[in-house]
Amino acid sequence: MDEDIELIARTFRVLDSENYEQALPYIADDFVMETPAAMASEPQLYRGPDGVRRWWESFLEAMDTVRLETLAIEDAGTGRAIISFVIHVRGKSSGIEAEQRAFAIGTTSKGKITGLEIFPEIELAREAAQDWPTET
């Protein structure tokens, strides 16, 4: 498996409410992730490991558990991969369980994840990946 794809897979394996701190060493200081309005009740921009921590903590204010289940990872070119995943949650006060399917383009550089762009549909992620410039 390509090193970049393995890095993304390893990081997603520990992204849950009990272990998310284990993913922080894999996150670059210049990491950027934006949660789009189509996918989040409060769209925001998250930067660096502290941003990832803030994203999880905002989830855990309302949720008892949060778990990301990776369904597939596709190579999208040097340092990039498309991740298909499901977010599983259980409400803190209600106990209601829910899930949301999502897709993301993960980018890597120098052994760290530098970005995560989230999409509601796989076709949108694939189109965005095709539009990115290739390295020369």
CB-CB contact of 41 with 89 (8 Å): no
Q: Would you say residue 75 lies in a domain?
A: yes
The lowest-confidence range among 12-21, 52-61, 81-90 is: 12-21
Interval 40-49: pLDDT, tens? 777 889 999 9
Rounded to whole angstroms, the Cα distance separating 27 from 11 reads 9
Q: Would you say residue 78 lies in a domain?
A: yes
Q: Would you say residue 105 lies in a domain?
A: yes
We report the CATH number of the domain holding residue 102 as: 3.10.450.50
Q: Would you say residue 104 lies in a domain?
A: yes
φ, ψ dihedrals at 116, nearest 5°:
-145, 115
Count of domains forming the chain: 1
Amino acid code (one letter) for 86: V
Q: Which residue segment(s) compose the domain that 64 sits in?
A: 3-131
Interval 61-89: pLDDT, tens? 989 999 999 999 999 988 999 999 999 99
Q: Would you say residue 73 lies in a domain?
A: yes
Q: Would you say residue 136 lies in a domain?
A: no
Q: Would you say residue 39 lies in a domain?
A: yes
pLDDT band at 136 (very low <50, low <70, confident <90, very high): very low
Specify the pLDDT at position 13.
Answer: 87
Strand ranges (DSSP E) for 3-58?
A: 27-34, 45-47
CB-CB contact of 91 with 66 (8 Å): no
Q: Would you say residue 99 lies in a domain?
A: yes
pTM of the model as a whole: 0.88
Rounded to whole angstroms, the Cα distance separating 32 from 105 reads 12
pLDDT over 90 at 39, yes or no = no
